[in-house]
Homo-oligomer: A and B are copies of this chain.
Amino acid sequence: MSEKVLPKTLPGFMELLPNEQIKFNEMMDKIRKAYERFGFLPLDTPIIESSEVLLAKAGGETEKQIYRFNKGENDLALRFDLTVPLSKYVAKNYNEISFPFRRYQIGKVYRGEKAQKGRYREFYQCDIDVIDKDELSLLNDAEMPSIIYSIFKELGFGDFTISINNRKILNGLFEALDQKENSVDILRIIDKIDKIGKENVEKELSELGVSQEKIDVIMNFISITGSIEETIKQLRDLKIECELFQTGVNELEEVAKNIATFGVPRENYKIDLTIARGLDYYTGTVYETFLNEYRNLGSVCSGGRYENLAEYYTDKKLPGVGISIGLTRLFFQLTDKKIIEVGNNSIAKVLIISMVDNFEKSIEVATQLRNSGINTQIYTNNDKIKKQFQYANRLNIPYVIVIGEDEIRDNKVSLKNMETGEQQTITIEEAIKIIEK
């Protein structure tokens, strides 16, 4: 063996060192536990699907980015999100599933994006959706923010705000102003207001061919601020004559009220009339979530309500509401900006170091610790003691147990707390009690 292959990982693919991976998994576990606490069922679908199924709906950017290939006679593709597989799954298992169907899925998806810092071609999405037949109660729209709250409270990245809106309000407004065909452009222009200022927004809207009268309505609309109650009142005061708009306002009011009932503190959510999300997909409530101190990271958890999950596969009407966390990107951002620290995590809680050649006692102690549910590693090499302690340090293992001749004779262990440096010779039962704390 002399010709070696360079052991490289492809650009755009995250591959972490162990201490980073421990942190990553901690975040994923917290998200999963929160999803389960709200009664969502696990789902795992193949990463490979037939291209026909995956691309039933897709087009444009998605189709360009997709990993698609042939194997034998089969035209295959890698999933690019978890929503299309869910649609297929629900349509396929319609008769086996109990509705309302609440499912979570945490898995990798693939997009052949241009490789650049913070952009990934393989990344984890953590999704939940509630799907029902024909109609889905608006209570579910109010529950989503309480799940977001529960997760980000536990993840502990500081204060955060869940922005909610209702697409019917925006769609109704554009309908009332007879600007449906301009809606994408108008939203794009509105979205720049923080950057280019109010006057330039008006100017660009005018260049788009929107009359001054209508620009005034739009500017009034986007200047609405205040508490939820004040916002709802001002929306009604606009006197937009459009049923869709009024339905949107009523839904938003009801959802906002119930979010409070779900125990989400007032400071953690607000109405933001400018958020729209995917233009043609969402049809009702929409969500974005921002870390208050790092708003420039963009939304860290988004979602919304849609009319019909699986229309490309079935005639059955399946409304739903869901949210998604892009965990790989979020993890990159949080570590890149040093919002989370990696390096103080460990899997093993104890490293056992033997001062004698016979490992019998060390093995017995390890087995006792493991049987008590304590993650334990035996250092199996006869390296110098100093090197073994360094190893414990590098792996951030909080406790070291040293087994020497004295310990074997007295049937005790020497337990060292690696953080405080404190060392004591005690029974194994006493050691277990200390470590369990």
Contact = CB atoms under 8 A, between A and B. Distances in A.
B394 A39 contact: no
A230 to B, nearest CB: 23
Contacts of A378: 139, 143
A7 B53 contact: yes
B363 A261 contact: yes
A18 B46 contact: no
A238 interface: no
Contacts of A163: none
Interface string A47-58: 111101100100
Contacts of A391: 98
Given A37-B375, A47-B108, A363 B21 contact: no
B4 A18 contact: no
Given A36-B347, A69-B67, A71-B67, A363 B46 contact: no
B9 A92 contact: yes
A142 to B, nearest CB: 8
A419 interface: no
A67 B48 CA distance: 10
Please state the number of chain copies in the assembly: 2
Contact of A38 (B48, B49, B72, B377): B377
Contacts of A53: 5-8
Interface size class of A (residues with CB under 8 A): 35 or more
A39 B348 contact: yes
A381 B137 contact: yes
Given A21-B41, A44-B21, A47-B47, A10 B74 contact: yes
A225 B108 CA distance: 49
A25 interface: yes
B67 A4 contact: no
A152 interface: no
A175 to B, nearest CB: 22
B311 A261 contact: no
A389 interface: no
Interface in A73-93: 74, 76, 87-89, 91-93
A262 interface: yes
Interface stretch (A164-172, A279-287, A312-320, A404-412): A312-320
B4 A313 contact: yes
20 contacts: A4-B315, A7-B53, A13-B46, A16-B44, A21-B43, A37-B373, A38-B377, A41-B347, A46-B122, A47-B47, A67-B71, A72-B112, A100-B379, A139-B359, A139-B363, A139-B380, A140-B380, A261-B359, A261-B360, A263-B364
Closest 9 CB pairs of A and B: A39-B377, A69-B69, A39-B348, A137-B380, A7-B91, A13-B46, A7-B313, A18-B41, A5-B56
Interface of A: 1, 4-10, 13-18, 21-22, 24-25, 36-50, 52-53, 56, 67, 69-72, 74, 76, 87-89, 91-93, 96-98, 100, 102-103, 108, 110, 112, 121-122, 132, 135-137, 139-140, 143, 146, 150, 258, 261-263, 310-315, 347-348, 351, 359-360, 363-364, 367, 370-371, 373-382, 391, 394-395
